[in-house]
């Protein structure tokens, strides 16, 4: 009985198989956001039983579906249990990919997965090819259940003393899903609106559990698959998996050392903490900026250099095929390798005696240029429209575009125009990059029919 609605939806989506897969991705996320907005506007969704205004509901639905975490109202203070369930459902659908969840019906009914569905699964998981995608989706769904379940058990045990069995269990489940999907929504507003994990910044088990869930969710399903197959012989890991693990480790460690050094004596962040809390929260800060959105130190108190570094880490994001957003570690790795090749005077971009195709390099450069131009443009408009410091506007923009969700505290105070702008940034940051990926995958190689004379343009 439970499969009937999903079966009907699957048949409807199957009838759209002649559409461009990128359009299907955009449409599926649009449907989630629209339905979520309408549900959140219902009186039953708010704690006081009064219907919530359209912009707040649309902003929250977009943030949840795009696993961002930016909010206009505190999730616990404003939304009822029904509203929180709606938000959690959108987070799970947005994190795994709507079509991936729908395709699970085919697995349950043992139906064959068609070529069009495989292509859409590839796009929703931000993968680069269809090799073994069905097996990977099966493992992703099972792995998600196991990892989120384990995290929920640990967090429930941590929340039990303060919130009791029912309250602790619900918060354990909610925060486990939110952390694994890199969403950043929390239900700790009872300790103070918009406090996130500030009241738990001295609780190692809570921070390390959420930190682990964020990291695992941000590695990507392809890396999971590779690690499961080769956990006994790490040398057999693919070059991509090794690159992702290396980049992830370098970004986490480098970010933690940076924040520890810059914020060590800042009384608004780490200054009043003991040495071990400073190390723990610096590590958590470095991880949460990789598209997670939980806050344990208060972003509004960061120094300017830390705000700038935060923007960089947010825009880089997690890895392809994960619940994270941003440019992705693979894209940034290609940029760094390209820079190395150019500085060395080589025409080919190589890694461990392997050549990275020119097509990949151009796609990475194009995606990066698009994101940087949009980031700077939205940041400037936001700064001018609401007369806020550019660095604060840039922080909120990077948080929205990279689907992170941390904030310096200005988002709820911005104008309706700026809220709409951030909604567009969240949608483009999550769905736009997915659409770019699937368009790249579906596009064939068109050989040039006409060759023009070469022209030299001075640079530098």
Q: At what angle do helices 239-263 and 304-316 cross, to 10 degrees?
A: 170
Where does 129-203 have alpha helices with state H?
A: 133-180
pLDDT in tens for each of the 460 residues of the chain?
444 554 554 555 455 445 555 677 777 788 889 999 999 999 999 999 999 999 999 999 999 998 899 999 999 999 999 999 999 999 988 887 655 555 555 555 455 665 556 665 555 555 555 555 667 777 778 888 899 999 999 999 999 999 999 999 999 999 999 999 889 999 998 888 898 999 999 999 999 999 999 999 888 777 887 888 888 888 888 888 899 999 999 999 999 999 999 999 999 999 999 999 999 999 999 999 988 889 999 999 999 999 999 999 999 988 877 777 888 898 899 999 999 999 998 989 988 888 998 888 888 898 899 899 999 999 999 999 999 999 999 999 999 999 899 999 999 999 999 999 999 999 888 876 656 555 555 555 555 567 778 777 776 6
- The residues that bridge with 350 in the sheet, in sequence order, are 355
| Residue whose tokens read 């912009």 | 55
* Structure confidence at residue 126 (pLDDT): 52
* Structure confidence at residue 452 (pLDDT): 75
Kind plus residue range of the DSSP H or E element containing 392? helix 390-401
* Structure confidence at residue 180 (pLDDT): 92
Query: Nearest to residue 240, comparing CAs of 114, 139, 334?
Result: 334
Measured between alpha carbons, how far is residue 311 from residues 7, 255, 308 in Å?
42, 12, 5
Interatomic CA distance for residues 185 and 178, integer angstroms:
6
CB distance 126 to 320 below 8 Å: yes
- The residues that bridge with 349 in the sheet, in sequence order, are 356
Query: Nearest to residue 63, comparing CAs of 151, 144, 142, 178?
Result: 178
* Structure confidence at residue 222 (pLDDT): 78
Burial class (CB in 10 A: 0-12, 13-18, 19+), 312: middle
CB distance 300 to 409 below 8 Å: yes
For 228-284, write each residue's pLDDT tens digit. Answer: 888 888 888 888 889 999 999 999 999 999 999 999 999 999 999 999 999 999 999
Tokens of 119: 């292509």
Q: DSSP character for 350?
A: E
Residues with Cβ within 8 Å of 204's Cβ and at least 6 positions away in sequence, in order, are 280
Query: Nearest to residue 204, comparing CAs of 298, 150, 285, 284?
Result: 284
Phi/psi at 350 (5° precision): -125, 160
Where does 194-328 have alpha helices with state H?
A: 204-219, 221-230, 239-263, 275-288, 304-316
354-356 and 349-351 beta bridge pairing = antiparallel
Where does 264-357 have alpha helices with state H?
A: 275-288, 304-316, 329-343
Q: What is the pTM assigned to this prediction?
A: 0.86
CB distance 97 to 124 below 8 Å: yes
Query: Nearest to residue 320, comparing CAs of 225, 250, 228, 407?
Result: 225
CB distance 403 to 434 below 8 Å: no
For 190-240, write each residue's pLDDT tens digit. Answer: 888 898 999 999 999 999 999 999 999 888 777 887 888 888 888 888 888
Q: DSSP character for 355?
A: E
Q: DSSP character for 402?
A: T
CB distance 323 to 181 below 8 Å: yes
Cα-Cα end-to-end distance for the chain: 65
Query: Nearest to residue 41, comparing CAs of 26, 33, 71, 76?
Result: 33
Query: Nearest to residue 119, comparing CAs of 455, 435, 458?
Result: 435
Q: At what angle do helices 239-263 and 329-343 cross, to 10 degrees?
A: 90
Burial class (CB in 10 A: 0-12, 13-18, 19+), 452: exposed
Helix (H, G, I), strand (E, B) or coil at 356: strand
Chain centre to alpha carbon of residue 155: 21
Tokens of 25: 């991705």
Helix (H, G, I), strand (E, B) or coil at 328: coil
* Structure confidence at residue 97 (pLDDT): 63
Interatomic CA distance for residues 43 and 24, integer angstroms:
31
């Amino acid at each position: 009985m439970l499969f009937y609605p999903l079966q009907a939806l699957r048949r409807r989506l199957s009838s759209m198989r002649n559409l461009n897969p990128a359009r299907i991705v955009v449409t599926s996320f649009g449907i989630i956001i629209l339905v979520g907005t309408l549900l959140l506007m219902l009186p039953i969704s708010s704690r006081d039983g009064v219907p919530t205004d359209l912009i707040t509901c649309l902003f929250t639905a977009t943030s949840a579906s795009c696993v961002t975490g930016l909010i206009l109202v505190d999730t616990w203070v404003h939304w009822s249990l029904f509203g929180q369930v709606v938000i959690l459902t959108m987070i799970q659908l947005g994190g795994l990919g709507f079509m991936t969840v729908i395709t699970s019906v085919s697995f349950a009914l043992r139906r064959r997965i068609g070529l069009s569905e495989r292509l859409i699964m590839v796009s929703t998981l931000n993968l680069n090819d269809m090799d073994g995608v069905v097996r990977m989706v099966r493992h992703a769904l099972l792995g998600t259940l196991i990892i989120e379940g384990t995290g929920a058990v640990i967090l429930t045990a941590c929340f039990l003393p303060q919130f009791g069995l029912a309250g602790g269990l619900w918060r354990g489940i909610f925060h486990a899903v939110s952390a694994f999907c890199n969403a950043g929504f929390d239900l700790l507003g009872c300790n103070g609106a918009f406090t996130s994990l500030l009241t738990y910044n001295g609780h190692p088990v809570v921070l390390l559990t959420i930190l682990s869930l964020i990291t695992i969710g941000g590695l990507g399903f392809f890396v999971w698959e590779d690690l499961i197959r080769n956990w006994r012989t790490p040398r057999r890991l693919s070059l991509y998996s090794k690159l992702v693990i290396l980049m992830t480790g370098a970004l986490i460690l480098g970010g933690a050392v940076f924040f520890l050094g810059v914020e060590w004596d800042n009384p608004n962040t780490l200054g009043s903490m003991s040495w071990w809390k400073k190390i723990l929260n610096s590590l958590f800060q470095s991880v949460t900026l990789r598209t997670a959105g939980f806050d344990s130190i208060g972003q509004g108190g960061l120094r300017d250099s830390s705000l700038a570094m935060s923007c960089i880490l947010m825009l880089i994001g997690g890895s392809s095929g994960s619940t994270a957003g941003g440019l992705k570690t693979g894209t940034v790795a290609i940029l760094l390798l390209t820079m190395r090749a150019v500085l060395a005077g080589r025409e080919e971009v190589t890694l461990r005696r392997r050549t990275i195709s020119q097509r990949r390099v151009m796609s990475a450069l194009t995606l990066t240029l698009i994101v940087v131009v949009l980031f700077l443009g939205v940041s400037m408009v936001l700064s001018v429209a609401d007369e806020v410091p550019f660095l604060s506007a840039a922080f909120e923009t990077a948080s929205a575009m990279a689907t992170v969700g941390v904030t310096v505290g200005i988002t709820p105070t911005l104008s309706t125009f700026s809220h709409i702008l951030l909604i567009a940034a969240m949608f483009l940051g999550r769905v736009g990059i997915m659409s770019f990926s699937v368009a790249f995958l579906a596009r064939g190689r068109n050989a040039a029919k006409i060759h023009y004379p070469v022209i030299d343009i001075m640079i530098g």
